[in-house]
Amino acid sequence: MTGHQSSNIAAANKVLDDFMAAFNARDLAAWEKTFNFPSVRLASNTLTIIEPGYHKPEMFLRGALKDWHHSAWERRDVVHAGPDKVHFDTRFTRYRADGSVIGGFDSIYVVTCENGHWGVKCRSSFAP
């Protein structure tokens, strides 16, 4: 691995750290800063194209996130890394406020560098 690849992997990992921290804080403005738009999510057999403003505070009150309190990365393994893109094999776990597990979900995250900004471009998970 070259030094350049190492710095790209570090930058992409920081995006995933910031992504999870902002999501757990329910800070949608900070969370959007961790994306490169348009961003793609493939989950529940549905492909969603995400643009700025797509996520709303109400999303934390219904559906799969209704009982959700926070999430944590369990695994973030680099599959491939290049000058402007890193592929991660990940697993995250969703928790309730009492610390009980809602579920753990394997996923693939693609973090890209566009115009000097590292952000989540694509994610595919088995999460609802």
Domains of the chain: 3-125 (3.10.450.50)
The amino acid that residue 115 corresponds to is N
Q: pTM for the full model? A: 0.93
Specify the pLDDT at position 22.
Answer: 98
Asked if 78 contacts 49 with a C-beta cutoff of 8 angstroms, the reply is no
Specify the pLDDT at position 32.
Answer: 97
Specify the pLDDT at position 3.
Answer: 65
Average pLDDT over residues 6-13: 96
Whether the predicted pLDDT of 23 surpasses 60 = yes
Q: Which residue has the higher pLDDT, 116 or 63?
A: 116
- Chain centroid to CA 67: how far? 19
